[in-house]
Amino acid sequence: MSTYAEIRKQADAAWATWTKPARTRLDVTVATCSHAAGVGATLKALRETVAAGGYAVDLGLLSCGGMCFLEPLVIVTQPNGNRVLYGPVRPKDVRALLDATVTRAGVYPDLAIASIAGEGGSVPPLADHPFMQGQVRWLMANTGITDPEKLDHYIARGGYEGLAQAAQMEPEAIIAEMGASGVWGRGGAGFPAGRKWDFLRGARNTPKYMVCNADEGDPGAFVNRILLEGDPALVIEGMTIAALATGATYGYLYIRDEYPLGIERSERAIKQARERGLLGADILGSGRDYEMRVVRGAGAYVCGEETGLLSSIQDSRGMPRIKPPFPANAGVFGLPTNVNNVETYACAPIVFRDGAEKYKSLGSEKSPGTKMFSITGDVQRVGAMEVPFATPTGYLINTLCGGVQPGRTLKIIQPGGPLLGMLPAGAIDTPLDLDPYRVWKLGGMGGGGIVVCDDTTCPVDLTAYFEWFAEDESCGRCTTCHGGTQRYVEILRRIADGGGRASDIELLELITSTLPYSNCFHGQGAPAAVNCLLWYFMDELQEHIQQKRCRAGVCRGLIRYAVDPRHDRDAAAAAAICPTNAIRQDDDGRYFIDQSLCIKCNACREVQPEAIRVDDALMVLEPVAAD
């Protein structure tokens, strides 16, 4: 068995070679987002150009550091230790980049974003980049900087220092330190991590289990993916610290099926930790044993509910269970289990490496430390970031992500998944913390996935989408949930199709009154979107129901596409793209749209915006009196 000092020495040597390589190296970001950005073509072009041109260069690997909007990203590391970040690097840029950085051993200014290490020269340091302003990277310290497939990189940058500390502490002291840090569960419920660990430590039955919930299913949320693809060892170390504190001897890292790269890299990090004695028997001389493995989900949102997750691990459908008993007493296989979110475990190595006092130096009194967020939807720059708790929501949306597109206005902020509803634009000043978000009568702040919608979004349509999602992902146990969400969807779709009735408001409220009797948070959270629709967007809902109008022009039953007669000549291209041949010519050669064929897909308007217009289909000018 090696000591931490020996493991660290080996890691430091590997990191020194990596940061000052014998010859220039190009590290390419391979992540789910860079794959979507076309990194495959960039990699292929790099390999081919290097081979054909005989460049003296090596290729390495990176993960996404949150700047999804600049993918595919490449870091060029020079033998003198200068590291410069470039992006987006497309196949056409590869030769010029290689010529500038390898042949001339310099900088390629056209695509240079920031200096990561060494002398940047004219390239400003990464810390000065507008996207990094106000960010504090504790959890994301390595993402986008290290090779996520090399555990030595993680260790050389302070990884497993926390575990080395914890391995010398008594379980009670570990739990006290975690409690003192004030870290609470990042999955959304906000329960203090130290207390949860203490429940498991106090449980009598053995063996005890660690479970990490990486079933990040909220559409639009991807903070866990950034960690699992970029620095999986942080999560694994956190689980190991929790195991030493609680007496758990086995752990399951449950990752959703949609994250195959996160699964692959987590499995590799587990294997590498085992090889170094950081998993297994007598971890770092603590006298305590802990092993773990990855469990791959298979596509079920409700497995993100902690008891659904336990059922899924334990050989069955991922049906949430009735609590109590709580997992600390009867979890996976009916044995004591601690379930935490990815980010909750990821905080532990930071707390034990730097101490609870330092951890508490940032954030708010109730929520010390930092939180990761992903911002997506109608913003100019989509990305993942880490900021101290209580940072205003608007700082992330407007300053870091550039706000909505020019000419548009912010309309809806969805703070944390379909089960936490949607807020009006006024929520932008809300500090990202537990209590401020409760002002909006929501269950909490959510897991960190924020979706931004501009004025082209219809809240009725969005609510129908959330409720469809809740219905589709309901496990089916509770009639309130699977039946209630079905009724929600029927009513909302009927309204969007032009069949809204004044009595629909009461019907929605009636369903809402039954959903709290669902067993788990899936059913209990399902009314949030409908509630928000009634609380914050009632005028638009009434417009749909009474005037049969969708002001955003989204609800398909309330709009119709028409050829603008003034631009009839331009309609030929629109007719050619129409997937259903709905745009036809009458006997006089004038174009018209056959409404029975039109699927309102907008392809025609995209190619001929002047020739095709969108009208209200059913608009009733005089409001219908409520019955």
Partner 1 sequence: MPDLKVDQRAQYRQLLQEFKPDSGHLLAALHKIQHHFGYIPPDAVNAVGAQLRMPAAAVFGAISFYSEFRTTPPPEVLINWCSGPACRNKGGEDIRRVIEAVLALPMEANSADERVGLHLAQCEGSCEYAPLVWLRYRDGHEDGPDAVLVAERGVVHGRLKVSDAVALARRLKAGDNTP
- Report the site for partner 1 in 129-158 (rule: CB under 8 A): none
- Residues 307 and 420: their CA atoms lie apart, in Å, by 19
Residue 297, interface with partner 1 (CB under 8 A)?
yes
Q: How far apart are CA 66 and CA 375, in angstroms?
A: 10
293 versus 441: smaller Cβ distance to partner 1: 293
- Torsion of Cα atoms, 229 then 231 then 233 then 238, to 10°: -110
| Smallest separation, CB 19 to partner 1 (Å) | 20
| Cα-to-chain-centroid distance, residue 573 | 39
Minimum distance from residue 30 beta carbon to partner 1 (Å): 5
> Which of 52-59's residues contact partners 24+ apart within 8 Å by CB, and which partners?
53/95, 53/98, 55/98, 55/102, 55/103, 56/23, 56/24, 56/102, 57/23, 57/24, 57/25, 57/26, 57/98, 57/102, 58/21, 58/23, 58/24, 58/25, 58/26, 59/25, 59/26, 59/27, 59/28
Q: Which of residues 55-94 bind partner 1 (CB under 8 A)?
A: 61, 68-69, 71
Residues 512, 526: Cα–Cα separation, whole Å: 8
Per-residue mark of binding to partner 1, 160-199 (x: CB under 8 A): ----------------------------------------
Q: Which residue number, 115 or 374, has a Cβ lying nearer to partner 1?
A: 374
Backbone angles phi, psi at 346, to 5 degrees: -65, -20
The DSSP symbol for 102 reads I
User: Nearer to partner 1 by C-beta: 169 or 601?
Assistant: 601
Total residues at interface with partner 1 (CB under 8 A): 73
Residue pair 338/356 in contact by the 8 Å Cβ criterion: no
Alpha-carbon Rg for the chain, nearest whole angstrom, is 27
Compare residues 350 and 451 and give the one whose CB is closer to partner 1: 451
Applying CB under 8 A, the span of 111-119, 376-384, 489-497, 539-547 interacting with partner 1 comes to: 376-384
Q: How far is the CB of 418 from partner 1 (least distance, A)?
A: 8
Per-residue string for binding with partner 1, 430-459, x by CB under 8 A?
A: ---------------------x-xx-xx--
Q: Which is nearer to partner 1, 277 or 377 (CB)?
A: 377
Is residue 376 at the binding interface for partner 1, with CB under 8 A as the rule?
yes
Tell me, what amino acid is at 616? Answer: D
Query: Which residues within the stretch 477-516 sit at the binding site for partner 1 (CB under 8 A)?
Result: none
Give least dist CB 609 to partner 1, A: 11
Q: CA-CA distance, 191 to 184, in Å (whole number)? A: 5
Q: Smallest gap, in angstroms, from Cβ of residue 412 to partner 1?
A: 10
Tokens at 477, concatenated: 């146990």
> Which residues lie below 8 Å from residue 507, measured CB to CB, with a gap of 6+?
487, 491
19/29 Cα distance (integer angstroms): 16
Residue type, 555: C
Q: What is the spatial distance between Cα 541 and Cα 557, in angstroms, rounded to a whole number?
A: 14
Which segment (150-158, 297-305, 522-530, 587-595) binds partner 1 by CB under 8 A?
297-305
Q: CB of residue 506 vs partner 1: minimum separation in angstroms?
A: 28
CB of residue 43 to partner 1, shortest distance in Å? 6
Identify the residue among 125, 426, 579, 623 touching partner 1 (CB under 8 A).
579
The least CB distance from residue 176 to partner 1, in Å, is 32
Least separation in angstroms between residue 473's CB and partner 1 is 9
Of 328, 332, 339, 529, which one interacts with partner 1 (CB under 8 A)? 332
- Residues 269 to 288: which contact partner 1 by CB under 8 A? none
Member of 74, 210, 241, 300 binding partner 1 (CB under 8 A) = 300
Shortest distance, position 291 Cβ to partner 1, whole Å:
13
Per-residue tokens: 312: 């899924």
Smallest separation (angstroms) from partner 1 to the CB of 297: 7
Distance CA(256)–CA(263), nearest Å, equals: 8
Single residue of 79, 81, 125, 299 touching partner 1 by CB under 8 A: 299
Q: Note whether 404 binds partner 1 by CB under 8 A.
A: no
Query: Are the C-beta atoms of 43 and 11 separated by less than 8 Å?
Result: no
Q: How far is the CB of 407 from partner 1 (least distance, A)?
A: 15
- Write down the least CB distance from residue 428 to partner 1, Å: 17
The Cα 220–Cα 563 span in angstroms is 36
Residue 509 has a CB neighbour count (10 Å cut-off) of 13
Give the separation between CA 507 and CA 501, rounded to whole angstroms.
Answer: 10
Identity of the residue, 487 or 605, whose beta carbon is nearer to partner 1 in the bound complex: 605
Tell me if residue 95 falls in helix, strand or coil.
helix
Q: What is the DSSP string of 519-581?
A: SSHHHHHTHHHHHHHHHH-HHHHHIIIII---TTS--GGGEEEEE-GGGGGGHHHHHHH-TT-
Residues numbered 3-62 forming contacts with partner 1, rule: CB under 8 A:
28, 30, 32-33, 35-40, 43, 61
Minimum distance of partner 1 from residue 333's CB (angstroms): 7
Among 189, 607, 618, 619, binds partner 1 (CB under 8 A): 607
Which residues between 213 and 232 bind partner 1 (CB under 8 A)? 217, 219-222, 225-226
Instruction: Tell me the HSE value of 151 on the side-chain side, using a 13 A CA sphere.
Output: 24
Contact set for partner 1, span 334-363 (CB under 8 A): none
Binding mask 303-322 for partner 1 (x = CB under 8 A): ---------xxxxxxxx---
- Selected binder of partner 1 within 3, 409, 580, 595 (CB under 8 A): 580
Residue from 14, 117, 603, 614 touching partner 1 (CB under 8 A): that is 603
Residue placing its CB nearer to partner 1 in the complex, 316 or 596:
316
Assess contact for 414 and 421: CB atoms under 8 A: yes
Q: Are 617 and 559 in contact (CB under 8 A)?
A: yes
Residue 618 C-beta: closest distance to partner 1, Å:
20
3-class SS shares of the chain: helix, strand, coil, % to 5: 45, 15, 40
At a CB cut-off of 8 Å and minimum separation 6, what does 136 contact?
362, 370, 386, 387, 388
